Amino acid sequence: MVEEKESVVKTPGLGSRLIQTKEKPQSIIHIDNEQEPRIETTLLELNRVLGGGVVPGSLILVGGDPGIGKSTLLLQTSHALASQGLTVLYISGEESVRQTRLRADRLGALTEKLYVLCETNMDQISDAIESLEPDFLVIDSIQTVYDPSVSSAPGSVSQVRECTAHFMRVAKVKGIATVLVGHVTKEGAIAGPRLLEHMVDCVLYFEGERHHSYRLLRAVKNRFGSTNEIGIFEMGELGLREVSNPSELFLSERPLGVSGSTVVASMEGTRPVLVELQALVATTNFPSPRRMSTGIDHNRMSLIIAVLEKRMGMFLQTQDAYLNVAGGVKLDEPAVDLAAAVSIASSFRDAPTRPFDVVFGEIGLTGEVRAVSRAEQRVKEAHKLGFKRVIMPTKSLKGWSPPAGIEIIGVETVAEALSAALG
């Protein structure tokens, strides 16, 4: 018995036809500069992250850990768009149509214009797109789709690259807004070639802890909007619910009068968010002390501890230091430096911070406190939530007036900030 592989000759299909465009070069000053039309969903947090809504013809890649809620989010989005009269095609390569129906029934996402197909063959998917001509297309997930003309297995680099290129041509030529769901690796990056993220218009990461009910939708690439925005959702029995005031959510369980706890005003895109920073400094039992951080870059924490040792004379070489952003939020802007320093110093001295203080500012290696952007918005958010004092860089006070009823303390060094917060 001799095995013979039948050679598959793929006939020119949708992909080969879509490549043939008759565009001619144009002068850039003669190109129409109108804004891209957008389709707004009923999920305002999703609209914020996308830059105002879904752009027709855009290709969006959504990644996240297994079970985090990617399919739930996209099914709710599909329902929202189908309810507006748009034709939506939801292609699932991981669930049967009955499973998808049960999920939609639980979420209350049953709409006449929402079509579901369980298929992984690219040719069959192309035929379905041709016959239905949807306005919005969801592929869940791109790693399950395969092209019969490519000999490798589904999920391989070549398969993912070819299938993504095909959906990109479909989206651009037919004007179909397309969302691809991508699996992630253990490190949290989207699996497959890095080329995948270069080909799409928008890359969204759906983040969150399984043991917490809320989820963060973060844009890391967006050709039609800002990449600094985040959307915050809370997972419930009936699906994802938008969180319009995340500061109250993150501060709801904050203890008062405890050392090591500080509230920081962080900017997530254009939105100020107040988050609690917690620090614990304890005597170590090891030759070298431990430094652990959650939600803040570990190297940044080491830098802050070094500044406190050198400039403030705190002997932290025999102390373990732990820093945590309450609620599982990830903060990556320099404005959280000062709050982290206050938290560590508060725990080291066992001196509680004032419960109605907000701290923000960047720390330099010489112990100075540097200015940060959008200080006015941070102060207004603190005032709205009832905080009484704000400790911030003096250089950020120029050009605006603080609201009445809140005390502003401008500091230029870490020593002044610790004196004001713990004095």
Flag whether 155 is marked binding.
no
CA–CA separation, 170 and 19 (whole Å): 10
Whole-prediction pTM value? 0.77
Q: What is the DSSP string of 382-408?
A: HHHTT--EEEEEGGGGTT--PPTT-EE
pLDDT of residue 12: 46
> What domains can you pick out in the chain, each with its CATH number?
36-244 (3.40.50.300), 249-422 (3.30.230.10)
Cα separation, 301 vs 23, in Å, equals 53
Query: Cα angle vertex 25, ends 175, 179, to 5°?
Result: 20
64 is in an annotated binding site: yes
Determine the Cα–Cα distance for residues 358 and 408; give it in Å rounded to an integer: 10
**Encoded tokens for 278:** 């917690």
The pLDDT of residue 388 is: 94
Distances (CA, A) of 165 to 10, 18, 199, 200: 16, 11, 8, 9
| Cα–Cα dist 344/7, whole Å | 66
Alpha helices (runs of H) in 325-392, residue ranges in sequence order: 337-349, 375-384
3-state secondary structure of 316: coil
Per residue in 349-363, is it b (16+ CB within 10 Å) or e — as a string?
eeebbbebbbbbbbb
Number of neighbours of residue 3 by Cβ within 10 angstroms: 4
- 67 labeled binding residue: yes
68 marked ligand binding residue: yes
Query: Can you tell me whether residue 311 is helix, strand or coil?
Result: helix
Closest CA to 388 of 421, 346, 419: 421
Q: Is 12 known to sit in a ligand binding site?
A: no
Contacts of 254 (CB under 8 A, 6+ apart): 261, 263, 276, 326
CB atoms within 10 A of CB 114: 23
- Token pair, residue 58, equals 């855009």
* 127 annotated ligand binder: no
Smallest CA-to-CA distance from 227 within 214, 217, 215, 237 is with 217
Was 260 annotated as part of a binding site?
no
Q: What is the DSSP letter of 138?
A: E
DSSP string, 59-113: EEEEEE-TTSSHHHHHHHHHHHHHTTT--EEEEESSS-HHHHHHHHHHHT---TT
For residue 10, the model assigns a pLDDT of: 46
Rounded Cα–Cα distance for residues 74 and 128 (Å): 19
Question: Is the Cα dihedral 210, 212, 216, 217 positive or negative?
Answer: positive
The pLDDT profile of the chain, 423 residues, written as one tens digit per residue, is 766 665 544 444 444 444 455 678 989 888 877 777 889 998 999 999 999 999 999 999 999 888 889 999 999 999 999 999 999 999 999 899 999 999 999 999 899 999 999 999 999 999 999 999 999 999 998 999 999 988 888 888 899 999 999 999 999 999 999 999 998 888 778 887 888 899 999 999 998 876 677 888 989 999 988 887 888 898 888 889 998 888 887 888 888 889 999 999 999 877 899 999 999 999 998 889 999 999 999 999 999 999 999 999 999 999 999 999 987 788 889 999 999 999 999 999 999 999 999 999 999 999 999 999 999 999 999 999 999 999 999 999 998 999 999 999 999 999 999 999 997
The verdict on whether residue 208 carries a ligand-binding annotation is no
